[in-house]
Structure 1
C-alpha cells in the first residue's frame, strides 16, 4: 500500500503567530508530500518492502534489510515521512498548550532537574545542529529520558546508524530552514524559543506512555 499525506489536526493558521500559516501550508503540502512521493517511488522497485509500516522502514535504515539500490532514498524520504507525521502531532494551537504535567513532567525533572533545564538542553541541541536536521526528546531502553539531535531526516529509530542515540521519540523539532525561514530568516534560536508555545503536551504525554509500554508513537 502506498503511503499518503496525513491530514493535520488543525488549520494551517492555528499555530500563529509562532509558526506562520504560509510556512505550514508549504511545509505540509510541498515538502512532506515530496518525501512521500519519493518514498513510494523507491518502494515500487521493491514491492516486498511495501508490507513494512513506516516505523519498521525507519528501523531498517542502516541494515541489510534495505536493498543498497534504494537504501539512501528510503533513509532520506522514509525518515522525512515519519519525522513530519510525528512533528505535526506534537504541535497545537497556543491556547491549548499548558506545559508538561503528571508522569512526563516527573520524568523530565528526574532526567534534567527541571522543565526549564530540559528546554535549555533541547534548545542547545536544536540550535547547535549544523545545517539541516532535528532535535529530539525520547525514552531510552532503561526508561529514562534523553535529548539528541540528528542530521537531515534521520531520527532515533535509525539506531543502526553510527552516532545515532537509540531511543523512542516523544517530542521532536524540525530545524530545517524550510520550517522557519519565511518568518524567522536566519534566526533559528528565535524560532526554537517560539516553538515551545505550540507544543502539544497532551500528545507528548501520550507518546511517553506509549514509549514506556514498548510502542513507537506515530
Structure 2
C-alpha cells in the first residue's frame, strides 16, 4: 500500500470519527427532550402488556420504566456490554428479565411463543428489514402483536426527502447503519401481518422529524 493510500484512509477515518462525534453530541443534546416527548406515547403503547414480551435491542433500557412488572420479559441485546446494566435496571424496577445475546434477524426464541414484540427505533437500522419482520412473525403467537415506534422519511417529493435520499449512505456510516430513507411503514404493511395500524407524528428534529407509532398483529 502506498503512502498516499495510507494517508487517504487515515483522512477518511478522521472525517468519519469527527462526524460520529458531532452526531453523538447532537443526539445527547436532544435526548432528554426526545425522551420526554415520547414518554406519554410509550405509556399508552405499553399500557396493556401482559404475558411473554420480547424486546429487540433494548440498548440502555429506555423502555423498561414503562413496562408493567407482571410480564415475563425477554431482551435480545447484541451488545454484551449492555447486559449487566440492563439486568441491574430491571431488578431495580422489579421486572423479571431474561437477557439473551442475538440481533433483530436472529431471535433466540421459540416459534409461536411470544405474546408481544417491542421494537423501538430498531427497524431503521437492521441490515435487512424484511428478514427482521419475518423473524418477528415467526416468534409471535397467533394473534400476537408487534408494538413499534420508528423514524420514517419525509414525504416523497419534499425537499427534506431529497436531502435524506442524498445523505443516506453517509448517515448510515455515522449513525450505526440507520437508514434515513427507509420506508418502514411500507415494509410493515407488506410483511404479512393480518393488520397494521399506526399514526404519524413529528418531534421537531431536522433529520428525524417524521415518526410512526403503532401496532401490527399476526
| Fold similarity call, TM over 0.5 | no
Task: Report which of the two structures shows the higher radius of gyration computed on alpha carbons.
Answer: 2
The two structures have a TM-score, normalised by structure 2, of 0.25
| Greater RCO (CA < 8 Å, at least 6 residues apart) | 1
The two structures have a TM-score, normalised by structure 1, of 0.25
